[in-house]
């Protein structure tokens, strides 16, 4: 079954049935105010932090699915019939339902009873509010229609975790104000909060509601609110219980007539000293917000804000555009993959339809990796993110595993001890430096654990990252794994037999034995980046030291991290191998094959380890739906391995297709020169290429999912956990930098494609350090050798140096032999 299609020209995905296999969502907002919105208007909004500043409610893990949203109801005043133009929550049989998910906006249109309703939802740049722009048209040829329009949002009492659990208090604290048709949600404003939410409507109101139960009526859900059924609001004022915002507007439409209604849902902060209207009153001072509301209730300002948003995205995507022989590649690179990189950069793993928004804030390793796919779009934001992340690093070079976006403080509940974390900071900073050339970031004074007085230059933070690994090595000289490395579920020090223990924090061993080949590879990658940075800074001696560190670690991996046919995964607490042919289960893992080859281990050496590892992977791990995390799957729980063996075979880290790792293999295949194989793997998990498998894949066809069920699972090929995954950034890196081969380096833009044999070439435009490169690649032979001509002059090597100051356009012709 097809649920929609891509509209590449308009940069939209068009959903043509509301009953998609799962809610297919989009994100609104890309700065401070965010919303999740499904194809049937479900979802919620928050300011900066999905846990601590939740504006509206959403119910996870509850039936029916996708409950809570930006709801509108239309009611025919003559017949009393009412329906939701976004299908949910009333789920009437709509005609002509279409949902367009675009870049930072969603439009849902439908027809019912000869009424067409179309709502455009978006967050204007620079504002902390969302606009719902509703257009209602009477399609009836002869009848004037008298309609009621009702809106409804349910407010969250700010801290989404507390909101979902602390009822004994929360059912008594809700407070609102209604003023001139604007509903203000101000729970806890009387005490320490200086912020409130508001819900405004452009029309004169027939009525309103702010108490949920008055609007819905007892024992009713969102599908049948009593106020809508009756055609009349109660003008309720919430005191305690559950505050909501609902407007009621009357609308009469002559045949063919259209009318527009604008709703604004926003978040606003007041200066603490002038938060109240008059000293001594508890009324919100609205002088600061009223001009904003008035501004965005003007249709011409809404139009202008929408046009600005479109321009903004056109410019961001314009940083890198390609034209290749493959539509799926173009679509992902030019649009959806880049867009997903923005979303993962903004939200890390906090808020999606698979991440509740209350559990995880910004992950240290996650955000460092997300930056890799984002840095070329807005380098200045990447710079700030690096400084925020580095400020949660600890004195010993380790790092808090997560921090809350609102406070930017490390999260004590999870702490540190994930021994791969530090390496990712080095890789992120290296990516930023290559993209921007901005060496000043290395001198920025950054604290440890956000403690004033502890500041050192960022460069020293990076040095401490490497030292952290060097000082924590095990019996073979390989890095100790700590609580976990990249694979959060390989918990070699946990030994948990207590149900409900968190595998990530319940560490029970001292951690001085279990070692990780993955961290070794990451260390080598990081040390090599540090060597290149030192050389670039003119510090040859330092550079040599980093090279030596990398070489020592490489020798250790070759001596103790090679299993004969592939790279080993780890040594466990007993000193036994993990990911070895010797093991009963879990004999070969994907991560070390990818990362070791990327780190340059075994390329061009006598035994051809890189080639061998990739051939073994092809044999044991590659499936039509992507590359499995390991094989054979763990069939039972192993105390000494932890969470990885807690999953049923084929899911998540237990032999699922954990998509994040797949691009490492694409990169590795490109490094050894296999363009066909690299692009073939790329295509297997490419959501656009999987669109035709919709009934199996089930998740959105326009974004990557974290996981596709592995071949040990009954539903092999089914995707899960869409949107917030490191898969976005790494696929972007794999296709743009390694297959298409356009790579920023400290010295200039390197162009070294490793293309499929059948490709005759491709063209690209890439903005790099303010210069626009027009790149035309042509295949003239079967290999991967390149010859570059820059502005008509042949170039030695494949790194295009920056042009003389003032030149902003560069033409690069590339032939591949
Ligand atoms: C998941 C991992 C995740 C970890 C930490 C586990 O349950 O399987 O993918 O990294 O939780 O949140
Ligand atoms: C998801 C987590 O967010 C990420 O940090 C981790 O590397 C992967 N799962 C693998 O376990």
pLDDT digits (tens, 9 = 90+) for 212-242: 999 999 999 999 999 999 999 999 999 999 9
CA-proximal residue: ligand 2, atom 7 (nearest): 486
CA-proximal residue: ligand 1, atom 5 (nearest): 488
Contacts of 539 (CB under 8 A, 6+ apart): none
Question: Between the CA atoms of 33, 36, 39 and 41, what dihedral angle is there, to the nearest 10 degrees?
Answer: -70
Nearest partner of 334 among 321, 319, 316, 323, judged by Cα: 321
Q: What is the pLDDT of residue 361?
A: 85
- Asked whether residue 495 carries a pLDDT value surpassing 90, the answer given is yes
Cis peptide before 89 (omega within 30 of 0): yes
Contact 69, 43 (CB under 8 A): yes
C-alpha of residue 711 to centroid of ligand 1, in Å: 20
Rounded mean pLDDT, 41-46: 98
631, two tokens: 């094989």
Ramachandran area for residue 229 (φ above 0: left; ψ -120 to 50: alpha; else beta): alpha
Rounded mean pLDDT, 802-806: 96
| Strand bridging mode 809-816 / 771-779 | parallel
| Residue predicted with more confidence, 247 or 408 | 247
Binding site membership of 488 for ligand 2 (Cβ less than 6 Å): yes
Provide the pLDDT confidence category of residue 245 given band limits of 50, 70 and 90.
very high
Tokens 């509010």 appear where? 129
pLDDT per residue over 706-762, tens digit each?
999 999 999 999 999 999 999 999 999 999 999 999 999 999 999 999 999 999 999
Beta bridge partners of 317: none
User: Is residue 488 among the annotated active site residues?
Assistant: yes
Provide the pLDDT confidence category of residue 279 given band limits of 50, 70 and 90.
confident
Pocket test for ligand 2, best of 344, 488, 504, 725 (most atoms within 8 A of CB): 488
Binding site membership of 355 for ligand 2 (Cβ less than 6 Å): no
Q: Which of 49, 485, 488, 573 is catalytic?
A: 488
Contact 629, 661 (CB under 8 A): yes
Nearest partner of 15 among 93, 85, 108, judged by Cα: 108
Nearest partner of 132 among 228, 41, 20, judged by Cα: 41
Q: What is the pLDDT of residue 65?
A: 80
Phi (first) and psi of residue 27, to 5 degrees = -115, 140
Contact 117, 99 (CB under 8 A): no
Contact 764, 775 (CB under 8 A): yes
C-alpha of residue 712 to centroid of ligand 2, in Å: 21
Q: For the chain, count helices (H), then strands (E).
A: 20, 42
Rounded mean pLDDT, 53-60: 95
Q: From the CA of 349, give the closest atom in ligand 1.
A: 12
For the chain, the farthest-separated pair of C-alpha atoms sits apart, in whole angstroms, at: 86
Contacts of 146 (CB under 8 A, 6+ apart): 76, 77, 78, 250, 251, 252
Provide the pLDDT confidence category of residue 604 given band limits of 50, 70 and 90.
low
C-alpha of residue 483 to centroid of ligand 1, in Å: 12
Rounded mean pLDDT, 254-266: 98
Q: What is the pLDDT of residue 602?
A: 84
CA distance readout (Å), 53 to 48, 169, 343, 381, 758 = 7, 18, 18, 21, 51
Rounded mean pLDDT, 602-631: 92
C-alpha of residue 488 to centroid of ligand 1, in Å: 6
């Amino acid at each position: 079954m097809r649920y929609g299609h891509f509209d590449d020209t308009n940069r939209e995905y068009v959903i043509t049935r509301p009953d998609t296999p799962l809610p297919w969502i989009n994100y609104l907002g890309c700065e401070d105010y965010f919303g999740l919105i499904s194809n049937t208007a479900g979802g919620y909004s928050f300011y900066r932090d999905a846990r601590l500043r939740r504006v509206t409610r959403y119910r996870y893990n509850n039936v029916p699915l996708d409950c809570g949203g930006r709801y509108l109801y239309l009611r025919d005043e003559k017949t009393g019939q009412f329906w939701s133009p976004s299908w949910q929550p009333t789920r009437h049989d709509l005609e002509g339902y279409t949902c367009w998910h675009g870049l930072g906006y969603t439009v849902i249109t439908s027809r019912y009873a000869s009424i067409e309703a179309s709502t455009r939802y978006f967050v204007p740049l620079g504002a902390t509010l969302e606009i719902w722009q509703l257009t209602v048209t009477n399609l009836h040829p002869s009848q004037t229609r008298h309609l009621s329009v009702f809106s409804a949002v349910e407010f969250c009492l700010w801290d989404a975790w507390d909101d979902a659990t602390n009822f004994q208090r929360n059912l008594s604290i809700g407070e609102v104000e209604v003023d001139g048709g604007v509903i203000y949600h101000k729970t806890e404003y009387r005490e320490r909060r200086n912020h409130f939410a508001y819900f405004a409507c452009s029309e004169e109101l027939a009525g309103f509601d702010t108490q949920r139960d008055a609007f819905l009526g007892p024992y009713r859900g969102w599908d049948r609110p009593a106020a809508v059924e009756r055609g009349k609001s109660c003008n309720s004022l919430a005191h305690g219980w559950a505050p909501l915002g609902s407007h009621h507007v009357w609308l009469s439409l002559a045949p063919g007539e259209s009318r527009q209604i604008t709703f604004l849902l926003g978040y606003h902060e007041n200066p603490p000293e002038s938060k109240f209207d008059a000293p001594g009153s508890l009324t919100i001072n609205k002088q600061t917000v009223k001009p904003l509301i008035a501004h965005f209730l003007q249709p011409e300002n809404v139009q202008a804000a929408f046009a600005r948003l479109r321009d903004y995205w056109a410019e961001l995507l314009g940083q890198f555009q390609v034209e290749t022989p493959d539509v799926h590649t173009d679509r992902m690179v030019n649009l959806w993959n880049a867009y997903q990189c923005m979303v993962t950069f903004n939200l890390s793993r906090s808020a999606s339809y698979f991440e509740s928004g209350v559990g995880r804030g910004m992950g240290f390793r996650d955000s460092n990796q997300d930056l890799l796919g984002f840095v070329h779009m807005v380098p200045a934001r990447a710079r700030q993110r690096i400084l925020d992340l580095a400020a949660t690093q600890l004195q010993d070079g380790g790092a808090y595993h997560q921090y809350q976006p609102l406070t930017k403080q490390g999260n004590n509940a999870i702490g540190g001890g994930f021994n791969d974390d530090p390496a990712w900071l080095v890789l992120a900073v290296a990516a930023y430096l290559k993209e921007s050339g901005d060496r000043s970031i290395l001198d920025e004074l950054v604290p440890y654990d956000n403690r004033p007085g502890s500041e050192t230059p960022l460069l020293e933070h990076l040095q401490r990252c490497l030292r952290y690994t060097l000082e924590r090595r095990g019996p073979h000289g390989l890095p100790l794994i700590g609580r976990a490395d990249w694979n959060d579920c390989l918990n070699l020090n946990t030994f948990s037999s207590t149900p409900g223990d968190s595998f990530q924090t319940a560490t029970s061993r001292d951690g001085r034995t279990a070692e990780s080949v993955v961290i070794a590879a990451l260390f080598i990658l990081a040390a090599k980046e540090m060597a290149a940075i030192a050389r670039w800074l003119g510090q040859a001696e330092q550079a040599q030291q980093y090279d030596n560190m990398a070489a020592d670690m490489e020798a250790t991996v070759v001596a103790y991290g090679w299993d004969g046919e592939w790279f080993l995964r780890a040594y466990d607490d007993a000193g036994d191998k993990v990911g070895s042919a010797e093991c009963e289960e879990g004999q070969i893992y994907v991560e070390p094959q990818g990362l070791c080859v990327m780190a340059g281990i075994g390329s061009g050496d006598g035994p051809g380890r890189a080639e061998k590892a990739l051939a073994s992977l092809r044999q044991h791990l590659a499936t039509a739906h992507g590359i499995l995390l390991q094989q054979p799957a763990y069939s039972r729980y192993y105390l000494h391995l932890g969470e990885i063996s807690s999953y049923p075979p084929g899911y998540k880290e237990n032999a699922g297709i954990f998509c994040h790792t797949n691009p490492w293999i694409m990169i590795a295949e490109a490094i050894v020169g296999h363009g066909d194989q690299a692009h073939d793997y790329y295509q297997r998990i490419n959501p656009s290429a999987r669109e035709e498998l919709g009934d199996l894949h089930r998740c959105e066809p326009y974004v990557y999912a974290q996981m596709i069920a592995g071949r040990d699972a009954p539903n092999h090929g089914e995707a899960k956990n869409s949107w917030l995954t490191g898969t976005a950034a790494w696929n972007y890196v794999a296709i743009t930098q390694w297959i298409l081969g356009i790579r920023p380096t400290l010295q200039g833009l390197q162009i070294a494609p490793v293309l499929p044999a059948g490709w005759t070439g491709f063209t690209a435009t890439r903005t790099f350090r303010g210069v626009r490169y027009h790149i035309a690649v042509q295949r003239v032979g079967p290999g991967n050798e390149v010859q570059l001509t820059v502005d008509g002059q042949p170039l030695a090597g494949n790194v295009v140096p920056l042009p003389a100051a003032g030149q902003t356009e560069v033409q690069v012709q590339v032939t591949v032999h």
